[in-house]
Amino acid sequence: MLRILIIDESRARAAELCAALAMAGHQVAAVLPSALDLTAQIEQIKPDVILIETDSPSRDTLENLAVMEREMPRPVIILTQDRDAALMRAAFQAGVSAYVVDNLDLARLKPIVDVAIARFEAHQLLKQELATATRKLSERKLIDKAKGILMKTRSLDEDQAYAALRKLAMDRAQPLGKVAGDLVEMAKLLL
């Protein structure tokens, strides 16, 4: 059972959503009138999914969602009447997982929640893969710089410089990237 936070200015619409979510087997964690101070609300409520129903998502709402996406990401669904493509793109950039336009048939709510969760999980996986690739590229650059320093200062060829770095990393029981970074920092001081 998912804990869902509903954000809706209209109490009547929020009540309909609460009933539909309960019928779909979900628990409504809380109902808020706005997305202001969203990060603090999420820390306190700890919902699994955030569902926002609004005529048109405001810039403040999207900014709050972007902050939340960085600090404590959650699947976010926006139900709206606004068909503006630029606003839709801005919502996705702010971390929205599903942007549903027009009157919602409440029977479709469960599959929409499921799709939003699947899209959120795929997006999180891509972010992790990007972070790993970026870290590895930075590490590779440091290793190349460290090899260059060793080649220049100790008159080694590339293979010898790499072997020396690798031996130092093994002697210190540290990752090769850390040893390379330390060597580059020391070289800045000495050269």
Residue 3 pLDDT more than 90?
A: yes
For the chain, the domain total comes to 2
Greatest Cα pair distance, the chain, in angstroms, is 77
Radius of gyration from C-alpha coordinates of the chain: 25
Asked if residue 73 and residue 162 are part of one domain, the reply reads: no
Residue 124 included in any domain: no
Q: Are residues 22 and 82 in the same domain?
A: yes
Checking if the pLDDT of 89 tops 80, the result is yes
Per residue in 120-160, pLDDT (tens digit) is: 999 999 999 999 999 999 999 999 999 999 999 999 999 99
pLDDT at 34: 87
Q: How far, rounded to the nearest angstrom, does the alpha carbon of residue 184 sit from its chain's CA centroid? A: 31
Q: Do 85 and 12 belong together in one domain?
A: yes
**Range(s) of the domain holding residue 71:** 3-104
**Torsional sign, CA 54, 59, 65, 133:** positive
Q: Could you report the per-residue pLDDT of 50-78, keeping only the tens digit for each?
A: 999 999 999 999 999 999 999 999 999 99
| Closest by CA position to 50, among listed 87, 21, 24 | 21
20, 57: one domain: yes
Residues 157 and 76 in one domain: no
Q: Are residues 99 and 145 in the same domain?
A: no
